[in-house]
A and B are shown apart, each in its own frame.
Chain A
């Protein structure tokens, strides 16, 4: 079974600064997908960024980027130029690809990191 670990329960960052959220995972799969989801106080789960394990290039979405280290099984999220609207819970998640047997296309989540952006 896959496990996802987010070792930082809470973090804070000054507005306009950069912050990195950590995530590690454990799997025996070679192909898989990794995600970061954002959950603001509204409770809605919002996909931030997605990484395919077979791609060496780190994914980027505007101010959000990842540092994907496959050998180390590490998938950190960097938020640049932090904004007050970035205040939220952030969840790292792992997915086995389709056709990979039991548990495929199920998302396994970490316990989350609560990020506060300070004005």
Chain B
């Protein structure tokens, strides 16, 4: 099915471990995003990529890095996980010229112990 695919769906990390969340879209969208969702906080933008070859910080970028590997793929890396990074992470994509909103992946629930 067309859409945004995120892997993994669940992950438990120990403090200090690193990991990469993968995201791929097959809708030929230009823009891709990483959000985190915490209880009572809504969704907050971590990083985004307006187009292939560009990435920019969002509201809460500290502790994260991203790579726009190609037009389809946008990964989020935690270099040294901390308990404060326990959250649900969403990847999304959009056609920047159409303003039709985002298509979201199904999310990754990450727990850092």
Say whether B104 contacts A44, CB under 8 Å.
yes
A111 to B44, CA, bound (A): 9
Say whether B100 contacts A50, CB under 8 Å.
yes
Say whether A98 contacts B42, CB under 8 Å.
no
Interface string of B54-81 (1 = CB under 8 A from A): 0000100000000000000000000000
CB contacts (< 8 Å) of A9 on chain B: these are 40
Interface string of A52-88 (1 = CB under 8 A from B): 1000000000000000000000000000000000000
A43 to B58, CA, bound (A): 22
Say whether B106 contacts A105, CB under 8 Å.
no
Interface string of B71-113 (1 = CB under 8 A from A): 0000000000000000010101010110111101011010000
CB contacts (< 8 Å) of B107 on chain A: these are 43-45
B13 in the interface (beta carbon within 8 A): no
B41 in the interface (beta carbon within 8 A): yes
Contact residues of A between 77 and 119, Cβ < 8 Å to B: 91, 93, 95, 97-98, 104-112
Select B99's contact among A42, A44, A45, A95, beta carbons within 8 Å.
A95
CB contacts (< 8 Å) of A105 on chain B: these are 31, 50, 94, 96, 99
B-binding residues in A (CB < 8 A): 4, 9, 33, 35, 37, 42-45, 47, 50, 52, 91, 93, 95, 97-98, 104-112
